Chain A
Amino acid sequence: MDFPTLKKATNNWKETPNLKDYQKTYNTFAWETIRKELDGLPNNQGLNIAHEAVDRHANSAQATKTAIRWIGKKGNKRNISYLELKAETNRFANVLEGLGIQKGERVFSLAGRIPELYIAALGTLKNTSVFCPLFSAFGPEPIMQRLGRGKGSVLLTTTKLFKRKVQALLPQLPDLKYVLLADATEDVDEKVLSFARLMAAASTEFTIPPTNSEDSALLHFTSGTTGMPKGAIHVHNAVQTHYMTGKYVLDFQPNDIFWCTADPGWVTGTSYGIIAPLTHGITNIITEAEFDALRWFETLQEEKVNIWYTAPTAIRRLMRLGMKPKDAYDLSHLRLIHSVGEPLNPEAVVWGESALGMPIHDNWWQTETGGIMISNFPDVEIRPGSMGKPLPGIEVGLVQVEDSKITKVITEAGETGELALKPSFPSIFRTYLNEEERYQKCFVDGWYLSGDLAKRDADGYYWFVGRAKEIIKTSGHMVGPFEVESALIEHPAVAEAGVIGKPDPMAGELVKAFVSLNTGYEWSEELRLELMGFTRKKLGAAVAPKEIDFLEDLPKTKSGKIMRRLLKARELGLPEGDTSTLEK
């Protein structure tokens, strides 16, 4: 079914959008202009994300404005003004300095959305250390992989998560110097310390040291199809993209209240759940609780949210309510809704208009790009199902690649190619940590290759077609099949494992595994459950397979590589395509 274009009423804006003329802004855009809208450190000492997000507002007339409104699981609230946020993040920077944590060392977090996480993130940036958030639903194996590969020096977590998931890993993490427990009042030993005690003893005064805009700031792990997760490094200069996309995509106005529902364990929850709104000096809502349909609408109503950034899985759950929230709740403050994580189906875009009073704007970007690259905009008509148009300052192309060479840059409308970006914007990742070769492979003939396939229509709108790689997207989160397969084959019964993304109406895809067994083992329901439990214990619910099936033999290439593509085609009853390399 084709969905008609959604026109925008340009004469009754609640606020005039920052981006009024897309084409003109795109054509005349210069990053220098954005840089000038940021402060830079005093006395030309460089550019530091935390200064732009916190200190420059704390030092201004709006120091007492609420920077973060945190809503706990039980509905309890904590307002943190820019002035308080400056003092708290200064304290944490002093804590790190006191512990001897140097510039460039990695500070990890493994926690739910608690205030300490946000303070630690920004305090780490002030100390010019590198912040790396981990999703709290990860099991010990993904935590170990990321903390170990990232050579984390400090981990902020909670007592419960530490005991359940981290304590047993400590002997295998020689680089980890300190664990800070957000909820402990006393130190446990010389290594496991109380966050509160350290903070109470630390000064609220801190001067951010000179920071080169190319200094590392953030480390985000993302999953690949081969090998273990890759650690994408972003630098302080990325704040230009955070700020620019906040201005043009999320359309931040000075008095806005913004709610990004993403967890900082994923890049959206850091770029947009922490940094972008604060660089604009607006109020950022943070909710600790997990998804709850009615409570979410209550939050939109009670907090008078103006701009809302959420994800397709959540939107599809809200659609299931079968209600018109705009009639049941006062959503009159809401001005703009955005979605990211996976392509938003056109039904959901249109549902927004009828049920929430405005369409939902889809956008596209990746961990590696650090910020939104292609988007729908407040003042540009929406073609439901399209990811929109490139951001100002972002050059997007569709290319065909063969043998690591670009064979064609597509100019024709409607032709499919791999989505590629000219890597000349501030937030493009600077390396995969300790994997320079893997990093270099992402760039061919001056283009960054995204791994996503797309086409462009005659009017410049981009449409997602599929993924060039076998990466799994479940509830908007990337899961690397290799990481799951590696966990499965550690079980003595499993000979081989192949993992695919099985389409699911709610989650987009579910992680599904196929296994073959070693001699002496027989497939049974008991073994299936044992493998489910085994992988859940290792990987956690966010990564472990939801379904495991047995196959006598997994389809492999002649060189012995498991053909996940074929597993998926068979699972879905689709044509098997080219099987010339299949081992007979």
Chain B
Amino acid sequence: MKNTQIQQTILDILSKIAPEIDPATVDMGYSIQEEFEIDSMDFLRVVTAVDEIFGIAIPESDYANISTMDDMVAYIEEKIPV
């Protein structure tokens, strides 16, 4: 899967949690929580959805490595089964 597809999938998840945020205004190298103005419970929902869609299990201990969009995309790309 291409990076752009992964990113789009995550944006789709976020569009259901923070539908008023326009992704075009978001800095992908910055904290997802801050850029999308979501709280830690929302972030947990994003991760749960990512787990389900991509079929990977992201442990809580890795959350610090997926805090920005760019980091999350790179993390998923590495983890998804080829």
* Chain A: CB-nearest residue to B64: A292
Chain B residues with CB under 8 A of A504:
41
B38, chain A: closest CB distance, angstroms = 5
Q: How far is the CA of A320 from the CA of B58 in the complex (A)?
A: 11
Q: Which residues of B contact A315 (CB under 8 A)?
A: none
CB distance from A447 to the nearest CB of B (A): 35
Q: Is the interface of B mostly helix, strand, loop or mixed?
A: helix
User: Given A475-B39, A533-B19, A546-B42, A290 and B64 touching (CB < 8 A)?
Assistant: no
B38 touches A294 (CB 8 A): no
Report A333 CB to chain B, min CB distance, Å: 22
User: Chain A 423-461, CB within 8 Å of chain B: the 1/0 string?
Assistant: 000000000000000000000000000000000000000
Chain B positions 13 through 27: 1 when the CB is less than 8 Å from some CB of chain A, otherwise 0: 001111111000000
Interface string of A524-552 (1 = CB under 8 A from B): 00000110111011001110001000000
B40 to chain A, nearest CB (A): 5
**In the assembly, what is the distance between CA of A15 and CA of B33, in Å?**
40
In chain B, residues 1-37, which have Cβ atoms closer than 8 Å to a Cβ of chain A?
15-21, 33, 37
A537 vs B45: C-alpha distance when bound (angstroms)? 19
Choose from B18, B33, B61, B63 the contact partner of A323 (Cβ within 8 Å).
Answer: B61
The answer, yes or no, to whether B60 is at the interface (CB within 8 Å) is: yes
Q: How far is the CA of A541 from the CA of B39 in the complex (A)?
A: 6
Q: Which residues of B have CB within 8 Å of A322? A: 59
Is the C-beta of B44 less than 8 angstroms from some C-beta in chain A? yes
* A534 in contact with B20 (CB, 8 Å): yes
Query: Are A546 and B41 interface neighbours, CB within 8 A?
Result: yes
- Tell me whether A293 and B41 are in contact in the complex, defined as CB-CB below 8 angstroms, given that A532-B19, A534-B20, A536-B20 are known contacts: no
Number of B residues contacting the other chain (C-beta, 8 Å)? Answer: 21
Please name all residues of chain B whose beta carbon is closer than 8 Å to the beta carbon of A293 when the two chains form the complex. 60-61, 63-64
Tally of A-B Cβ pairs under 8 angstroms: 61
Interface residue range, chain A = 20 to 34
Indicate whether A541 sits within 8 Å of B37 (C-beta atoms), given known contacts A533-B20, A534-B20, A536-B18: yes
A546 to B44, CA, bound (A): 12
Contact with B along A465-482 (1 / 0, CB 8 A): 000000000110000000
Nearest chain B CB to A323's CB is how many angstroms away? 7
Residues of chain A with a CB closer than 8 A to B21's CB? 533
Q: How near does chain B come to A549, taking the closest CB pair, in angstroms?
A: 14
Q: Which residues of A contact B63 (CB under 8 A)?
A: 292-293
Complex CA gap A290/B64 in Å reads 11
The answer to whether A77 has its CB under 8 Å from any CB of chain B is no
Shortest B23–chain A CB gap in Å is 13
Question: Once bound together, how far apart are the Cα atoms of A504 and B33, in whole Å?
Answer: 20
- Residue A317 interfacial (CB < 8 Å): yes
Q: Is A510 touching B41 in the complex (CB atoms < 8 A)?
A: yes
Chain A nearest Cβ from B39, distance in angstroms: 4
Chain A min CB distance to B82 (Å): 27
A342 nearest CB across to chain B (Å):
14
Q: Which residues of A contact B41 (CB under 8 A)?
A: 474-475, 504, 506-507, 510, 546
CB distance from A299 to the nearest CB of B (A): 13
Which residues from B are CB-within-8-Å of A19?
none
Contact A529-B16, Cβ < 8 Å, known A294-B64, A540-B37:
yes
| A321 close to B (CB within 8 Å) | yes
User: Residue among B17, B18, B19, B59 with the most chain A CB within 10 A?
Assistant: B19
CA of A260 to CA of B40, assembled, Å: 18
Give the Cβ gap from B19 to chain A, nearest Cβ, in Å: 4
- Whether B38 pairs with A541 at a CB distance below 8 angstroms is yes
- Residues of chain B within 8 A (CB-CB) of A137 are 37, 39
A 399-425 contacts with B by CB, 8 A: none
Contact residues in A for B64 (Cβ distance below 8 Å): 292-295
C-beta contact mask, A132-157 vs B, less than 8 Å → 1, else 0?
Answer: 00000100000000000000000000
- Structural contact, A533 and B18, CB atoms closer than 8 A: yes
Q: Which of A515-530 contact B (CB under 8 A)?
A: 529-530
- A447, B6: Cα distance in complex, Å: 58
* A427 CB, nearest partner CB in chain B, Å: 29
| A-contact bits for B51-82, CB 8 A (1 contact / 0 none) | 00000000111011000000000000000000
Q: Which residues of A contact B61 (CB under 8 A)?
A: 293-294, 321, 323
- CB of A49 to closest CB in B, whole Å: 30
**Chain B residues, Cβ within 8 Å of A534:** 20
Pairs A–B under 8 Å by Cβ, sample size 11: A290-B33, A291-B40, A294-B64, A295-B64, A320-B60, A507-B41, A529-B19, A533-B19, A537-B20, A541-B38, A542-B39
| Chain B interface residues toward A at CB < 8 A | 15-21, 33, 37-42, 44-45, 59-61, 63-64
**Extra pairs beyond A293-B63, A318-B60, A532-B18 (20, CB < 8 Å):** A137-B37, A290-B40, A291-B40, A292-B63, A293-B64, A295-B64, A320-B60, A321-B59, A323-B61, A475-B40, A506-B41, A507-B41, A510-B41, A532-B17, A532-B20, A536-B18, A536-B19, A536-B20, A537-B20, A540-B37
